[in-house]
C-alpha cells in the first residue's frame, strides 16, 4: 500500500504510530536483507502487522525462535499469523532447548543477573558466609565480581539508590541465602543457549543486515533498560531496529482496535499479560502462568513443574521470607 494512503488512515492521527510507519518504511528501503523476529506475543503481532502494510515487506524473513518451552497457544498462533498474512515464518529450533539447559547447567532463579552471580559462586564452592569482602576474596580469589555482588561492594547511584549489581537490590536475598543456601544448581544458561545463540546463529548464517523486533520501552524490565532508542548499530554487519519501541499501552490499544489485531489465546483465553518461555522463573507472575497451564495446558504444567521444580520451591521460600521480614519491619522488630 502507498505510504500516503496508509498515513491518511493512521488511527486517531496518532503520532507514534505514524512515526513508526514512516521509519519502518525507510528502513525497508535502505536495508537489503531484513530479519524480523516473531515471538507470538502481542508486541510482535503489532510489529508483523505494521511490516505487512509496507512495500518491501516481501524482503523480510520472519523467524520464530522456539526455546523448547512454548505454550501450545503460541505455536498455534504462529500458524494463524502465517495464514492471515500469507507469509512463511521460519521455525528455528533452539541450539539447546530450555529443559536440556536446565538439566545440564542449572535452573534460572529470580533474574538473569542474580542467576549469573550465584552460578559463579557455586562454581567456586562458595559457602555463603557472611564475611567482609577482603576475607572472602582471600578464600575465593578467582571470583571477585560475584563476591562484590554478595558483599554489596558496588557503589550506589548518585541518588543513593541501591546498585542493581549488589545483592541488596533484591531485599533480604542475602539474609535468605545465608539461612537457606541453595541445594541445586542455579544458572541463566538457558537464556544463552535456547534464545540468544539460536537467534545469533540464524542471523549470521542468513547474512542479514537488519534485525527488527517488537520491544517497547514502556514494557519495563531488563529489555527496556538495555536499549536507549529504537535503533542501534549492530556489532557485526547487522543493525537493530525496534519499530514500536516508543509505543505506550494506549498506542498499542489504539493500533489493536483500529487494525483489528488478534492476539494468541494466551492473552484472549488464558488471561496472561505477556508470553515467552512458559513458566519462566524470572517472571514475577509465574504462579499465574502455572494456574493458566493447569486450566488450559496441563501437560505443559507437568513439564515445567519438573524442569523448574527446585527453583520454584526456592523462589516461593524466598518470597515468604521477604514477606515475613517486611512484616517484622513494619512491626518494628527489625531496624
Binding footprint of ligand SF4 on the chain (CB under 6 A): 67, 69, 98, 108, 188, 190-191, 194-195, 276-277, 280, 282
Q: What angle do CA 260, 264, 268 make, to 5 degrees?
A: 80
Closer CB to ligand SF4, 64 or 282, in the complex: 282
In the numeric block, the cell 520451591 is attached to 313
Closer CB to ligand SF4, 56 or 200, in the complex: 200
Closer CB to ligand SF4, 198 or 211, in the complex: 198
**In angstroms, what is the minimal distance from the CB of 329 to ligand SF4?**
30
Closer CB to ligand SF4, 195 or 252, in the complex: 195
SS percent in the chain: helix, strand, coil, step 5: 55, 10, 40
**In angstroms, what is the minimal distance from the CB of 189 to ligand SF4?**
8
**In angstroms, what is the minimal distance from the CB of 239 to ligand SF4?**
24
Residues in a beta bridge with 312: none
- 186: nearest Cα among 102, 100, 309: 102
Closer CB to ligand SF4, 113 or 152, in the complex: 113
Which value, in Å, is the radius of gyration of the alpha carbons in the chain?
22
**In angstroms, what is the minimal distance from the CB of 302 to ligand SF4?**
16
**In angstroms, what is the minimal distance from the CB of 7 to ligand SF4?**
37
**In angstroms, what is the minimal distance from the CB of 311 to ligand SF4?**
10
Of all residues in this chain, which one has the CB nearest to ligand SF4 in the complex? 277
Closer CB to ligand SF4, 243 or 276, in the complex: 276
Tell me how far apart the alpha carbons of residues 331 and 51 are, in angstroms, rounded to a whole number.
Answer: 55
DSSP H stretches of helix in the chain: 3-8, 15-30, 42-52, 72-85, 98-105, 112-123, 133-139, 144-150, 173-179, 189-190, 197-205, 221-226, 249-258, 265-268, 286-296, 298-307, 309-330
Amino acid at each position: 500500500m502507498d505510504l500516503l494512503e496508509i498515513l491518511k488512515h493512521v488511527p486517531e492521527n496518532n503520532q507514534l504510530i505514524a512515526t513508526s510507519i514512516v521509519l519502518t518504511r525507510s528502513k525497508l528501503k535502505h536495508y537489503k536483507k531484513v530479519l524480523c523476529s516473531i515471538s507470538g506475543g502481542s508486541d510482535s503481532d503489532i510489529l508483523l502487522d505494521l511490516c505487512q502494510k509496507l512495500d518491501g515487506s516481501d524482503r523480510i524473513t520472519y523467524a520464530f525462535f522456539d526455546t523448547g518451552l512454548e505454550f501450545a497457544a503460541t505455536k498455534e498462533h504462529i500458524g494463524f499469523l502465517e495464514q492471515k498474512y500469507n507469509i512463511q515464518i521460519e521455525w528455528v529450533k533452539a541450539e539447546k532447548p530450555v529443559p536440556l539447559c536446565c538439566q545440564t547447567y542449572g535452573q534460572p532463579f529470580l533474574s538473569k543477573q542474580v542467576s549469573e552471580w550465584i552460578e559463579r559462586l557455586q562454581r567456586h564452592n562458595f559457602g555463603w558466609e557472611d564475611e567482609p569482602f577482603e576475607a572472602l576474596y582471600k578464600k575465593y580469589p578467582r571470583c571477585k565480581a560475584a563476591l562484590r555482588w554478595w558483599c554489596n561492594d558496588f557503589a550506589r547511584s548518585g541518588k543513593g539508590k541501591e546498585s542493581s549489581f549488589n545483592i541488596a537490590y533484591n531485599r533480604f536475598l542475602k539474609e535468605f541465602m545465608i539461612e537457606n543456601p541453595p541445594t541445586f544448581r542455579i544458572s541463566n544458561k538457558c537464556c544463552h543457549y535456547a534464545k540468544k545463540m539460536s537467534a545469533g546463529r540464524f542471523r549470521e548464517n542468513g547474512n542479514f543486515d537488519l534485525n527488527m523486533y517488537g520491544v517497547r520501552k514502556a514494557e519495563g524490565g531488563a529489555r527496556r533498560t538495555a536499549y536507549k532508542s529504537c535503533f542501534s548499530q549492530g556489532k557485526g554487519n547487522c543493525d537493530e531496529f525496534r519499530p514500536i519501541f516508543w509505543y505506550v499501552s494506549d498506542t498499542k490499544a489504539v493500533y489493536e482496535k483500529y487494525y483489528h489485531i488478534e492476539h494468541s489465546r494466551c492473552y484472549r483465553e488464558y488471561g496472561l499479560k505477556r508470553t515467552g518461555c512458559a513458566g519462566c522463573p524470572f517472571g514475577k507472575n509465574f504462579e499465574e502462568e502455572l494456574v493458566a497451564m493447569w486450566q488450559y495446558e496441563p501437560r505443559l504444567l507437568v513439564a515445567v513443574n519438573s524442569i523448574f521444580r527446585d527453583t520454584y520451591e526456592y523462589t516461593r521460600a524466598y518470597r515468604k521470607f521477604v514477606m515475613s521480614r517486611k512484616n517484622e519491619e513494619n512491626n518494628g522488630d527489625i531496624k
